Amino acid sequence: MGPVFVSEAAARRLSGNADTTRFLWLNLSDAYRVKGALPAGQALEAEIRSALAIDDANTVRVHHRDEIADGTIAHGTQLVGDMARAPFWSLVVLSTGIITLLLASFQASAKEIAVMRAVGMTRGQLGLMLLGEALMTGLCGIALSLVTGFCIGWTFTGWTRAWMPFGGLPVSLDIPWLVILQGVGFACALCVVMAALPILFLVRRDADMRP
């Protein structure tokens, strides 16, 4: 579980700890800094416990700034990943609408398709035309989703910086381009898969209807 940002009064009320709490900010020496964030914090905590003879009534915790930052970012990434699963399944369900779209488009353009077939359009060209319609619809949906997602991300980043105290942690809008490209590729592949069966059905149906 990642850090929870609450007031000190709320933390004491939830934990039941009413004793004095002291916070100290320290700068690590070069000897500690070369060990890395987590090992340096563990070594410093062990030395403090040894020097102060900490008993069961007291405790000491040492946290490096980078350790807190990495933990917060990792927790946020996991949270966003869990939230992204709902739109993922929604995308799978909504993509079946491409089947209805192609069937409706074929029915609406039946006369135009008959004319094009009469002047020499092949079954392959008909299939490519229907596939192009499906891809165009998918790309328009992807573009609209990206614009909406960027706007939502930018808005919530501004709200986060304005209302949540992060104690010196950098808060910025980080766009995961690799994840976005993977999502775009998945959406395009899903569009092609969902369009393949109705295209084959419509092409064969058109061939059977021709004398």
pLDDT tens per residue, range 171-204:
666 777 887 888 888 888 888 888 888 888 888 8
Whose CA is closest to 105, among 84, 134, 73, 140?
Answer: 134
Q: What pLDDT is recorded for position 74?
A: 67
Please state the domain extents for the chain: 1-79, 95-209
Q: Tokens 């990943």 map to which residue?
A: 81
pLDDT tens per residue, range 63-112:
666 666 666 666 666 666 666 666 777 777 777 787 888 888 888 888 88
State how far the Cα of 105 lies from the Cα of 115, in Å rounded to an integer. 15
Kind and range of the H or E element at 137?
helix 123-163
Q: What pLDDT is recorded for position 48?
A: 76
Least confident of 32-46, 58-72, 141-155, 195-209: 58-72
State how far the Cα of 202 lies from the Cα of 151, in Å rounded to an integer. 39
**Dihedral angle of Cα 160, 166, 168, 169, to the nearest 10 degrees:** -70
